[in-house]
Amino acid sequence: MAIKQKSGGLGRGLGSILPDIDLESVKPVADTISMVPVAKVTANPFQPRKEFDQEALDELAQSIRQQGVITPITVRRMPDDTYQLIAGERRLRASQQAGLKEVPAYVRAASDNQMMEMALVENIQRENLNAMEVALAYRSLIEECRLTHEELSEKMGKNRSTITNYLRLLNLPAETQLALSNDLISMAHARALINVEDINRHLEILHAIIDRHLSVHETEQLAKADKAKPKTVTPQKRGALPEVHQAAQSRLKERLQSTVEIKRSQRGKGTLTIVFNNDADFERIMKLLEK
């Protein structure tokens, strides 16, 4: 069952999205769908979605009880005779909830790198991920597969500017990223907030969006007004962070693509704080630090 390339955008097959993968190496082991034991399917470590709506899972589980699993999940066989999930975690969770012992699955042969690409791309293309989950998935593809923004845009069938706009969200303060993840603000709100560099003013506008339900247009107007204000140069305060520490803070922020804060006392004692969004983000940062 070879994967056929199709022209088009979001509906393209994996063959057109990931042209560098040897399609013969990722085809199903057999031409038929296999029934695999639910208990032998392990989680996908590259799953970009971290949270699942329980009400939606309940509805899917009820549907599965009545009609079974309509769309097979996708797995790869592991050496210990278990299966690792590539795509279909919602269906697997709902099947477990429905009490199924076996589920239909496409069993594919894939390396770790191929699996990561397939899992991330399929989830980005098909699942209703929030903006932060998409941004983190894009960054994973760029870092783990060593892609440029241009190469990723070609693989995803997206404009390069779209990829860049998502990745810029990772430079937002942790509180803003959390608000975006929890749907308290929209991606358009977040993009307007990116232009507010002063952290105190940034958070002030963020709270106004949430508390007063500001529209995107109103947020953009506040951001533009703040940017238009003349910036006054104030002398460095006693105890302010030395330039060498400021430069190090900027380098770490750029390398880790995360919020980094260095605090230092007059005597040279201080703290280094690195913000991470979830366990996967923590593991990503640790890998970068260990290099």
CATH code at 26? 3.90.1530.30
Residue 6 near residue 12 (C-beta atoms within 8 A): yes
H-helix or E-strand containing 177? helix 174-181
Judge if 102 and 32 occupy the same domain: yes
Q: Give Cβ neighbours of residue 111 (< 8 Å, ≥ 6 apart).
A: 25
**Residue 108 pLDDT > 60, yes or no?**
yes
**Residue 282 pLDDT > 90, yes or no?**
no
Residue 122 lies in a domain: no
Residue 62 lies in a domain: yes
Judge if 21 and 97 occupy the same domain: yes
* Position 237 confidence tier, pLDDT thresholds 50, 70, 90: low
Residue 130 lies in a domain: no
Least confident window among 62-66, 69-73, 97-101, 144-148: 144-148
Judge if 247 and 215 occupy the same domain: no
pLDDT on residue 55: 86
* Position 169 confidence tier, pLDDT thresholds 50, 70, 90: very high
Tell me how far apart the alpha carbons of residues 277 and 291 are, in angstroms, rounded to a whole number.
21
Q: How far is CA 165 from CA 14, 57, 182, 190, in A?
A: 24, 31, 19, 10
Judge if 212 and 273 occupy the same domain: no
Secondary structure (3-state) at 263? strand
Tell me how far apart the alpha carbons of residues 204 and 3 are, in angstroms, rounded to a whole number.
50
Judge if 214 and 247 occupy the same domain: no
Judge if 224 and 249 occupy the same domain: no
* One-letter amino acid of 270: G
pLDDT on residue 193: 93
Cα within 13 Å of Cα(258), Cβ side:
19
pLDDT on residue 1: 37
- pLDDT tens across 251-274, in order? 888 788 888 888 888 777 888 888
**Residue 81 pLDDT > 90, yes or no?**
no
* Position 22 confidence tier, pLDDT thresholds 50, 70, 90: very low
Q: Which range marks the domain in which residue 30 is found? A: 14-112
* Position 229 confidence tier, pLDDT thresholds 50, 70, 90: low
Judge if 191 and 248 occupy the same domain: no
Residue 71 lies in a domain: yes
* Position 228 confidence tier, pLDDT thresholds 50, 70, 90: low
* Position 250 confidence tier, pLDDT thresholds 50, 70, 90: confident
Judge if 219 and 269 occupy the same domain: no
Q: Which is the catalytic residue, given 24, 89, 151, 283?
A: 89
H-helix or E-strand containing 190? helix 187-193
Residue 144 lies in a domain: no
Number of domains in the chain: 3
Judge if 221 and 267 occupy the same domain: no
- Tokens for 117? 């690409």
For 52-113, the DSSP string reads: --HHHHHHHHHHHHHH--SS-EEEEE-TTS-EEEEE-HHHHHHHHHHT-SEEEEEEE---HH
The mean pLDDT value of the chain amounts to: 78
Residue 156 lies in a domain: no
Judge if 206 and 264 occupy the same domain: no
Residue 134 lies in a domain: no
Q: Single out the residue of 282, 11, 263, 287 nearest to residue 122, CA to CA.
A: 11
Judge if 257 and 285 occupy the same domain: yes
This prediction has a pTM of: 0.49
Q: State percent of the chain over pLDDT 70.
A: 77
Residue 175 near residue 210 (C-beta atoms within 8 A): no
Judge if 108 and 68 occupy the same domain: yes
Cα-atom radius of gyration of the chain, to the nearest Å?
A: 23
pLDDT on residue 256: 83
Active site residue 89: yes
- Residue the block writes with tokens 């923004």: 149
Residue 55 lies in a domain: yes
Where a domain ends, among 93, 112, 131? 112
